Chains A and B, each alone.
Chain A
Amino acid sequence: MSTKQPLLEIRNLDVSFRTQNDPLRIVHGLSLTLEQGETIGIVGESGSGKSVTSLAVMGLLPQPTGFISNGEILLDGRKISGLKEKEMRKLRGNEISMIFQEPMTSLNPVFTIGDQLSEPLKQHTKLSKKERKARIIEILKTVGIPRPEQIIHEYPHQLSGGMRQRIMISLAMLAEPKLLIADEPTTALDVTIQAQILDLIRRINKKKNTSVMLITHDLGVVAEICDKVAVMYAGEIVEYTDVRTLFDKPLHPYTQGLIASMPNMNERKGELHSIPGNVPRPTELPTGCHFSTRCTFAMDRCHKEAPPTISSGNNHTVSCWLHAIEQKEEPLEMEEENNVRHAITS
């Protein structure tokens, strides 16, 4: 890893939602860094706060309820959390782009593909109408859309889901962003199309050196294209490491559970492993470790105190009492760098 400034840096981020009572904290103490050209996977079950995190980076938290209650987000060393809407708008679709989960509903049904694709170019470039058209056709070709000259005159309902997701990707890539956020880009698609879309994202990442933040619940997708992974549970990162380490030596019981529940093509197990229970609702978080209610290794302490974030070297951090105790015999260093999460005190 280079010592230069990371492209994206999230420091100790809290995202909350206003409710009728007190604001509800959905994401808590989230820190991560992403270098130029790197791909990070953010993994977790539904309700773990991964989409909220990505919306916070885009400045698209649902208004007026959602807001960043603590911490900051830096892009290229510049603080972008708390930017005015007008400033943020210059970044969106330009330096940061996003692909959404639902290709079927993410395109406007009453405008042609060409119309919708010219929008980011109109906002962020001074290209003429003709140049815009040429650029759109070019990008449609790179994402593998056949006969782009005709497609730009068509409407979303005339295209399949896979095609629409390609359109969404080209929409995101038009202004050549530095950071591409992909929120479950393949969840709504067929398996074969999934592979094509992932391949496309990987190619963009390699060719344009675009950093990718991939939000998914699918560890298979992570293994496929990510450099590093943050595993989220109930709004917090519980384990953060590079992708190899995660699969070779998962430390957090939750990560272990996720890996165990991946379907394996080579084995015919009778039943898939599953982690019992659900992610607790933000209003009903258990005290201590939030995972303690579902954890098979939970000890007394887990139910009482929030676990510290332990570094197990090699940029691998985990928030779990198991490892805090194991490592007590060895000299343990709590890294103080920003890319390591702070110990959580409840």
Chain B
Amino acid sequence: MLDFIIKRVIQTVIVIFLALTVVFFLIRLSGDPTVLMLPPDAPPEQYEEFRKQHGFDQPLHIQYVDFIKNSVKGDFGDSIRMGTSALGLVVERIPATFQLALTALTLSVVIAIPIGVISAYKRNSLTDRLGVGFTILGQAIPNFWLGLMLIYVFSVSFKMLPAGGGGSMIHLILPTVTLAMHSVAKFARFTRSTMLDVLRKDYIRTAKASGTPTNKILMKYALKNALIPLLTLISLELGTLLGGAVIVEVVFSWPGLGRLLMDSLLNRDFPVVLAGVFFIALIYTFINFVTDMLYAVVNPQIRL
């Protein structure tokens, strides 16, 4: 167990280091932030001054070494745009992103698993076909379009829900539904196929031969087996939702990490982008770690 944790911590450090390195060089390919920050008619001395201030006058490898040195201390520098701590800006946005990701994930699990189980049990029935049809639709609809349609219907036409912004439960509804749609589809399809597989297993026949009612076979004996692979998918999805809700956050002006990253990228606000990447990588590896721990709970054959 302790071995496992130590190994994981080392892995996490490596993953974060690699992620930061790649992003550090990649964003520098996007161009010079000075050009965006200063007015085009500013005198060249001012440009020099700005570059010096942010260290852009140094050779790339020196910049990189400085960056790594500072980030080990938890210092990602100040936002070029805002002038405040980059990490501070990121941390400020985390709760909103978490809130959206967790509600979307919960909603999709709650909806998708029953759909998947029923579809698998009533394979090729009308219910199954409707379920499968719904999931195909869910995966096919791009979420920016779904978001806009929801805004059109519920905010513009019926004026029931706010079109954007954050702060209350009501603001959460449309972005959650939009974000969950894709996950629902993904989970339901996966649950269906895994359950179909599990239901063919010998131990399900054994449960039937013991006189176990169908409900119990499905929800207890089969579902727990299906949960093992499903768990991976759900936790990976949580990572995706946390780091990748960019489009939905932009569509609904949701004050989360995704929107901050988007804005920072467009403005070449390198410190904020790197701080954001640092956080997402950290969350991702942490979720993977928790998933592996959960495996041991669900699957007795795995010992950590």
Query: Are B211 and A108 interface neighbours, CB within 8 A?
Result: no
- Cα A60 to Cα B207 with chains together (Å): 11
Tell me if A102 is interfacial: C-beta within 8 Å of chain B. yes
Across the interface, which residues of B come within 8 angstroms of A98, CB to CB? 209
Query: Are A107 and B203 interface neighbours, CB within 8 A?
Result: yes
A155-B301, A157-B301 known; A108+B225 contact, CB < 8 A:
yes
Query: Are A109 and B213 interface neighbours, CB within 8 A?
Result: no
Tell me if B201 is interfacial: C-beta within 8 Å of chain A. yes
Tell me if B202 is interfacial: C-beta within 8 Å of chain A. yes
Q: Which of B211, B214, B301 contacts A120 (CB 8 A)?
A: B211
Query: Are B202 and A111 interface neighbours, CB within 8 A?
Result: no
Closest residue of chain A to B213, judged by CB? Answer: A89
Across the interface, which residues of B come within 8 angstroms of A120, CB to CB? 210-211
- Cα A120 to Cα B206 with chains together (Å): 10
User: How far is the CB of B205 from the nearest CB of chain A, in Å?
Assistant: 7
Across the interface, which residues of A come within 8 angstroms of B208, CB to CB? 60, 92
Query: Are A105 and B203 interface neighbours, CB within 8 A?
Result: yes
- Cα A100 to Cα B212 with chains together (Å): 17
Tell me if A58 is interfacial: C-beta within 8 Å of chain B. yes
Query: Are B202 and A102 interface neighbours, CB within 8 A?
Result: yes
- Cα A120 to Cα B213 with chains together (Å): 11
Q: Which of B211, B225, B228, B299 contacts A89 (CB 8 A)?
A: B211
Query: Are B202 and A123 interface neighbours, CB within 8 A?
Result: no
Query: Are B205 and A106 interface neighbours, CB within 8 A?
Result: yes
Across the interface, which residues of A come within 8 angstroms of B300, CB to CB? 109-110, 112, 155, 157
Scoring A residues 157 to 186 as 1 if CB is less than 8 Å from chain B, else 0, what string do you get?
100000000001001100000000000000
Closest residue of chain A to B206, judged by CB? Answer: A106
Total cross-chain contacts (CB, 8 A):
74
- Cα A106 to Cα B221 with chains together (Å): 12
Q: Which of B206, B210, B298 contacts A110 (CB 8 A)?
A: B298
Across the interface, which residues of B come within 8 angstroms of A60, CB to CB? 205, 208-209
Query: Are A106 and B301 interface neighbours, CB within 8 A?
Result: no
- Cα A92 to Cα B213 with chains together (Å): 11
Across the interface, which residues of B come within 8 angstroms of A199, CB to CB? none
Tell me if A90 is interfacial: C-beta within 8 Å of chain B. yes
Scoring B residues 192 to 236 as 1 if CB is less than 8 Å from chain A, else 0, what string do you get?
000000000111011111111110000001001100100000000
Closest residue of chain B to A85, judged by CB? Answer: B214
Query: Are B209 and A93 interface neighbours, CB within 8 A?
Result: yes
- Cα A168 to Cα B205 with chains together (Å): 12
Residue of A85, A92, A112, A157 most packed against chain B (CB within 10 A): A92
Closest residue of chain B to A117, judged by CB? Answer: B210
Tell me if A97 is interfacial: C-beta within 8 Å of chain B. yes
Q: Which of B201, B202, B206, B213 contacts A171 (CB 8 A)?
A: B206
Main secondary structure of the interface of A (DSSP, over half): mixed
Query: Are B211 and A123 interface neighbours, CB within 8 A?
Result: yes
Q: How many A residues touch the partner, as a band?
A: 20 to 34
Q: Which of B206, B213, B221 contacts A168 (CB 8 A)?
A: B206
Closest residue of chain A to B301, judged by CB? Answer: A157
- Kindly identify, within residues 143 to 190 of chain B, every residue whose CB is under 8 Å from any CB belonging to chain A: none
Q: Which of B209, B211, B212, B301 contacts A109 (CB 8 A)?
A: B301
Across the interface, which residues of A come within 8 angstroms of B201, CB to CB? 105
Across the interface, which residues of A come within 8 angstroms of B225, CB to CB? 108-110
Query: Are B205 and A100 interface neighbours, CB within 8 A?
Result: yes
Q: Which of B202, B212, B224 contacts A105 (CB 8 A)?
A: B202
- Cα A168 to Cα B224 with chains together (Å): 20
Query: Are A110 and B299 interface neighbours, CB within 8 A?
Result: yes
Across the interface, which residues of B come within 8 angstroms of A97, CB to CB? 209
- Cα A124 to Cα B209 with chains together (Å): 12
- Cα A116 to Cα B300 with chains together (Å): 14
Across the interface, which residues of B come within 8 angstroms of A94, CB to CB? 211
User: How far is the CB of B36 from the nearest CB of chain A, in Å?
Assistant: 55
Across the interface, which residues of A come within 8 angstroms of B298, CB to CB? 110
User: How far is the CB of A63 from the nearest CB of chain B, in Å?
Assistant: 10
User: How far is the CB of A58 from the nearest CB of chain B, in Å?
Assistant: 6
Query: Are B299 and A108 interface neighbours, CB within 8 A?
Result: no
Scoring A residues 12 to 53 as 1 if CB is less than 8 Å from chain B, else 0, what string do you get?
000000000000000000000000000000000000000000
Closest residue of chain A to B125, judged by CB? Answer: A64
Query: Are B205 and A119 interface neighbours, CB within 8 A?
Result: no
Tell me if A193 is interfacial: C-beta within 8 Å of chain B. no
- Cα A94 to Cα B203 with chains together (Å): 18
Query: Are A58 and B209 interface neighbours, CB within 8 A?
Result: yes
User: How far is the CB of B298 from the nearest CB of chain A, in Å?
Assistant: 7
- Cα A120 to Cα B208 with chains together (Å): 10
Closest residue of chain B to A95, judged by CB? Answer: B211
- Cα A105 to Cα B203 with chains together (Å): 6
Closest residue of chain A to B228, judged by CB? Answer: A110
User: How far is the CB of B300 from the nearest CB of chain A, in Å?
Assistant: 4
**15 sampled A-B residue pairs with Cβ under 8 A:** A93-B209, A97-B209, A106-B203, A106-B206, A107-B203, A109-B299, A109-B301, A110-B224, A110-B228, A112-B300, A119-B207, A119-B211, A123-B211, A157-B300, A168-B206
Interface positions of A (Cβ within 8 A of B) = 58, 60, 85, 89-94, 97-98, 100, 102, 105-112, 116, 119-120, 123-124, 155, 157, 168, 171-172
Closest 4 A/B residue pairs (Cβ): A93-B210, A93-B211, A108-B203, A105-B202
